[in-house]
Structure 1
Amino acid sequence: MSTDQNGSSAASSRRSRLTRLVDVAPDEVAALVASFAMFFALLSAYFIIRPVRDEMGVALGKDTLHQLFTIVFIVMLALVPLFGFVATRFPRRYVLPSIYVFFAANLVIFWLALKASPDDRWAAGSFFVWASVFNLFVVSLFWSLMSELWSHEEATRLYGFISAGGTAGALAGPLLTQGLVRVFEPIDLLLVSAALLVASMLASLQLRRLRPAEAKGSAKPAGGGILDGAIKTFTTPMFARIAAFVFIANIIGTFFYLEQARLVAASIPDSASRVLFFSSRDLAVSIVTVLIEVFGTAAILRRFGVTAALLALPVAGAIGVLLLTFHNALWIVAAVMVCERIVTFSLVNPAIKVIYTLAEPSDKYTVQNFIDTVVFRGGDAASGWLFALVGSGLGFAGGATGAICLPLVLIWLRTAKRLGANHEERAAKLSVSD
C-alpha cells in the first residue's frame, strides 16, 4: 500500500472515530478539529497562569481584591471604545490574530517585570488586573469567530465538542502547572502561556482557510460605531437579557470567589500549597466538564433546548447560596464553585453561544465582546463592594450576604426562562423564513 493510501486510510479512521462521538458531517471534520485545537491551546494558556493570578490575589488580601475588581471594571470600560475602533476599522480576519499576539507580548513583559521584582505588590496587582482582562477578551474573541464561522444548526450539534476542546485545555493547564511548578518558579509559567496563545492564534488562521465560504465577509470590518456594542446591548431585548443573566451570574459567582479567598488565606498559609489547591480544583472541574461536553451537551441542547441549559446555573446557584448561608466551610465553598463552573462550562456557555449565532455579523463581535467583558466584570465589581459592605470581614454566613443573594437568584431564574423563550421564538422565525 502506498504512503498516500496509508495516510488516507488513517485520516478516514480518525473521521470514523470522531463521527461516533459527534454528529459531524465529513466536510466539517477538519474545521471542527481546528476549532477544538484552537480552544484547547487558548484555555491551556489561561489555566496555566490562572493559579498564579489567584495566588497573587490571596497574597494581596481580600480587602484589596474587591478594589482590584473595580479597577478591572474601569479598565474594561476604557477598552470598549478601543476595541470598537479596532473592530469597526480593520477587517475581521485581522482582529483576533493581532489581539492574541499583543497579549502574548504582554505575558513576556510581565515575566520580565515580575522576575526582576517578585515581591512588588504593584506588579502583582497589575498582573491580577491584566489577567482578569486578558481571559475575557481572548475567550470572547474565540466565540465571536465561532459564531461567524458556524451556523445555528451546526452550533447546536458541534459547540459541545468545541467547548470540550477548551475544557481539555483547562485540564492540561493545571496538569502542566502542577508538574512545572515543582521545577520552575511559578512566574516562569507565563512564557509557556505566551507560546500556547500564539499556537491558538495560528489555529485560528487555519480555521478561516478551512471555512472560506463562511469567512467570505472577513475582509470587511464588523461595522457600526465604536460604542455600537454597548448601545445595542441595552436597546435589544435579547441582548439585554443575556447581559442581565451574565451580570447576576457574576455577582453570585464573585461572592463565592471572595469567600473562598478569605477561607484559603485563613487555612492554607503556604504560597505553593495555595497554587496547588487552585490547580487541583481546576483539574476536578475539567475532568467532569469534558465528559459532559463530549457525551451530553449536544444531546441536552437538542432534546431539552437552550432554556433548560440556562436554568441549570441559577438552580445550582440557589443551592450553593443556601448551603453557604448556614455553614461557610472551605470544602463547601470549593464544592459549590466546582459545581457552578461545571454547569457553566458544559451547559450555559454553549447555550449562550448558540444564541449568538442568530445575531448579525457585526453584533457577534461588538455586542458579544461588550457583554463578555464590561458586563461580566461589572458583576465582579458590584459583587466585590457588596461583599465588603455586608460581610464585615465575617464571611458569607456572618453578614447579610445570603439575604442579598437569594432575591438575586430568583431574578436570575426568571431572566434565564425569558431568555430561553426569546431564543426559541427567534429560531422558529428564522427557520420559517429559510
Structure 2
Amino acid sequence: MTAEVPKQRIARFRAALVASPALWWALLYFFSLLCGYYVLRPVRDAMGASSDATAVFPRWLLDLAGARGIALGDYTLQILFTGTFFAMLLLQPVYGALVARFPRRVFLPVVYLVFIACLGGFWWAFDTDASGRGALFFVYIAVFNLFAVTVFWSFMADVFDNDQAKQVYGYIGAGGTLGALSGPALTRMLVEPLGVANLLLVSAGFMALCLLCIVKLRPWAVRRERSHHEQSGERPMGGSVWAGLRLAWQDPLLRALSILMFFGVGVGTLLYNEQAAIVREFYPTAEAATRYYSTIDWAVNTLTIVVQVLLTRWLLRRYGVAPLLLLPAVAILVGFSLLSASPLPLLVAVVQVVTRASEFSLNKPARETLYTRMARESRYKAKAVIDTAVYRGGDVTFVWVHKLLAGFGSSVVFLAGLGVAAGMTFGAWRVVREQRRLPEHASEVRRHAESS
C-alpha cells in the first residue's frame, strides 16, 4: 500500500503533463527563476551579515557618518532594509506604468532584461571589489526577487484558470523548489573555484532561460483568455498607474491579503535578524557565511518540496485554501512560543526553516490560487503592490522593531514576535473569510469584475 502512493502520484503528474503541455514550460520557468535567485541569495545574505563595512557601504558614506560619530556597521541590516523599502516605493509606479501602457509581450521581457543587465554591472563591481557593492547588491536582489516572482505568478494566472491552478500549482511550486534546492548547491560547489563575481553570470544564464519560457507560454495565455472571453493581455491594460494601491486599500480581500503579508513578513524579519547576529559571531568570512546560508536554504527547500509533493495539492483540492493559510500561522505561533522560552541558536535555525518552508509550500500556493479568480488589474497591479510595497513595508518596520528590542535579549524579541504571529493568524483568517465571495469558475470571473 505504501509503495503504491508514490506510483499514484507519479501517474497523476504524468497525466497533468499530458493534459497541459504548458505545464512543462511553467515548470522550467519557475525552476530557472528560483535557481537563478538562490544562486545569488547566499551572496546577498553574506553581504548583509558582513562585518566589513567597506564591502557594504561606499567609503564616502562611511566617512560622512564617522565624522558625526555614527558607526554604520552597527545598523547594517536596518539601513539595507530601509533602502530596499524606498527602492520599492520608487519602482512601484514604474512597474504600474509598464503594466498599464504596454502589452504583456513587451513588459514581461523588459522586466527580465533589466535584471540581466543589472547582473552584468554587479559582476564588474564584485570583480573589482568596488566599495559599497554590498548595499546596492542587497537592495537589487530584494527588488529582483519580489518583482520577478510577482510577475511569474501574475503570468501563471493568465495561463491557467482556477480549476487548472488547483491541479498544477502544486507541481509548479515543486519545480520551483527543485530550482531553489539546486541554486544553493551550485553556490556551495562554485563559490570557491569561480569566485563570488562569476556566480552572477551563472544566475544571468538562468534569467535568459526565463525569457525563453515566457515566449513559449504566451500562446497558452492567449488561448485561455479567448476561451473564457476575458480581457486580452496582448493589449495594454490601461487604467491608472496607482490603481494597485487603490485596489489593495479598498477591496476587503486584497486588504486582508495585505495584513497577512505585512505580519507574515514580520515574523520572518525577526528571525532573519537573530540569525544574522549568529552568523556574524560564528562565520566571520564571506565564504563561510555564504556556505552557512546556502545550507539553511537547502534545508528550507528540502522540507518545502516534501510538503509540496505529499500535502499541498491534496489539501488544496480537498479543503481549499483554509488549511494552507492557517496551518503555517499556527506553526509559527508554536515556534515563537518555544523561542521566547528558550532562544537557542539551533532552535532559531529550525524555526527559520519551518517558517520559510511553510510559507513556500502552503501559504504562497494558496494566495496565488486566489488571484486566478480575480480580474487582471488585481492580478498585476494590486498583487504587485502587496508583494512589493507591503512586503518591504513589513521588512522595514520590523527590522527597526528588532533593533529596539535586541538590547533586551532574544527572549523579549521572540515574545514580541508572538504578537506579530497573532497578527499573521488574524490576516489568514480574514483571507479565508473574504475569499468565499470570489467566483469559483473562470467563466464567472469577468462578470464578477464588471459588477465590482
Does the CA-based 8 Å contact 2:268-2:356 persist in structure 1? no
Matched, 1:173 2:183: yes
Corresponding residue number in structure 1 for 2:360: 345
Matched, 1:142 2:142: no
Q: Distance in 2 between matches of 1:331 and 1:145?
A: 39
One-letter code aligned to 1:141: V
Matched, 1:241 2:256: yes
Corresponding residue number in structure 1 for 2:224: 214
Does the CA-based 8 Å contact 2:154-2:379 persist in structure 1? yes
Change beyond 3 A, Cα 1:325–1:23 = farther
Change beyond 3 A, Cα 1:45–1:138 = same
Change beyond 3 A, Cα 1:212–1:273 = same
TM-aligned CA deviation for residue 432 of structure 1: 8.1
- Residue 407 (structure 1) aligned to one of 404, 411, 419: 419
Corresponding residue number in structure 2 for 1:3: none
Does the CA-based 8 Å contact 1:53-1:127 persist in structure 2? yes
TM-aligned CA deviation for residue 327 of structure 1: 2.4
How many residues align? The count is: 413
Corresponding residue number in structure 2 for 1:58: 49
Corresponding residue number in structure 1 for 2:293: 278
One-letter code aligned to 1:249: G
Corresponding residue number in structure 2 for 1:123: 133
Corresponding residue number in structure 2 for 1:307: 322
- Residue 241 (structure 2) aligned to one of 215, 221, 226: 226
Does the CA-based 8 Å contact 2:173-2:361 persist in structure 1? yes
Does the CA-based 8 Å contact 1:22-1:161 persist in structure 2? no
Change beyond 3 A, Cα 1:77–1:22 = farther
One-letter code aligned to 2:308: E
- Residue 48 (structure 1) aligned to one of 16, 39, 43: 39
TM-aligned CA deviation for residue 252 of structure 1: 1.0
One-letter code aligned to 1:144: S
Deviates more, 1:109-118 or 1:46-55: 109-118
Corresponding residue number in structure 1 for 2:65: none
Corresponding residue number in structure 2 for 1:419: 431
Corresponding residue number in structure 2 for 1:257: 272
Q: Which runs of 5+ in 1 are unaligned?
A: 1-15
Matched, 1:382 2:387: no
Corresponding residue number in structure 2 for 1:357: 372
Change beyond 3 A, Cα 1:27–1:380 = same
TM-aligned CA deviation for residue 385 of structure 1: 0.8
Q: Distance in 2 between matches of 1:145 and 1:407?
A: 35
**3-state SS of paired residue (1:183):** helix
Does the CA-based 8 Å contact 1:264-1:330 persist in structure 2? no
Deviates more, 1:352-361 or 1:181-190: 181-190
Q: Distance in 1 between matches of 2:334 and 2:216?
A: 43
One-letter code aligned to 2:109: P
TM-aligned CA deviation for residue 154 of structure 1: 0.8
TM-aligned CA deviation for residue 151 of structure 1: 0.5
Q: What aligned pairs does 1:3-152 form with structure 2 within 5 A after superposition? A: 19-21=11-13, 24=16, 26-28=18-20, 30-59=21-50, 60=53, 63-118=75-130, 120=131, 122-152=132-162
C-alpha root-mean-square deviation of aligned residues, in Å?
Answer: 2.0
Q: Distance in 1 between matches of 2:117 and 2:282?
A: 36
Percent of residue pairs bearing the same amino acid type: 34
Change beyond 3 A, Cα 1:175–1:301 = same
Q: Distance in 1 between matches of 2:182 and 2:441?
A: 41
Q: Distance in 2 between matches of 1:210 and 1:62?
A: 50
Corresponding residue number in structure 2 for 1:200: 210
Q: Distance in 2 between matches of 1:23 and 1:405?
A: 44
Deviations 1:325-374 (A, max 9, x none): 12222211111110011111111110000011111012211111111111
Q: Distance in 1 between matches of 2:440 and 2:160?
A: 18
Does the CA-based 8 Å contact 2:253-2:435 persist in structure 1? yes
Q: Distance in 2 between matches of 1:428 and 1:269?
A: 52
TM-aligned CA deviation for residue 425 of structure 1: 3.4
Q: Distance in 1 between matches of 2:19 and 2:43?
A: 40
Q: Distance in 2 between matches of 1:96 and 1:428?
A: 27
Change beyond 3 A, Cα 1:231–1:181 = same
Does the CA-based 8 Å contact 2:161-2:442 persist in structure 1? no
One-letter code aligned to 2:269: T
TM-score by length of structure 2 reads 0.87
One-letter code aligned to 1:21: F
TM-aligned CA deviation for residue 428 of structure 1: 5.2
Deviations 1:223-251 (A, max 9, x none): 32001001100000000000100000001
Q: Distance in 2 between matches of 1:230 and 1:355?
A: 18
Runs of 4+, deviation exceeding 3 Å: 16-19, 427-434
Corresponding residue number in structure 1 for 2:335: 320
One-letter code aligned to 1:39: F
Matched, 1:336 2:351: yes
TM-aligned CA deviation for residue 430 of structure 1: 7.6
Does the CA-based 8 Å contact 1:23-1:157 persist in structure 2? no
TM-aligned CA deviation for residue 406 of structure 1: 1.9
TM-aligned CA deviation for residue 429 of structure 1: 8.7
Deviates more, 1:170-179 or 1:285-294: 285-294
TM-aligned CA deviation for residue 208 of structure 1: 1.2
Does the CA-based 8 Å contact 2:374-2:438 persist in structure 1? no
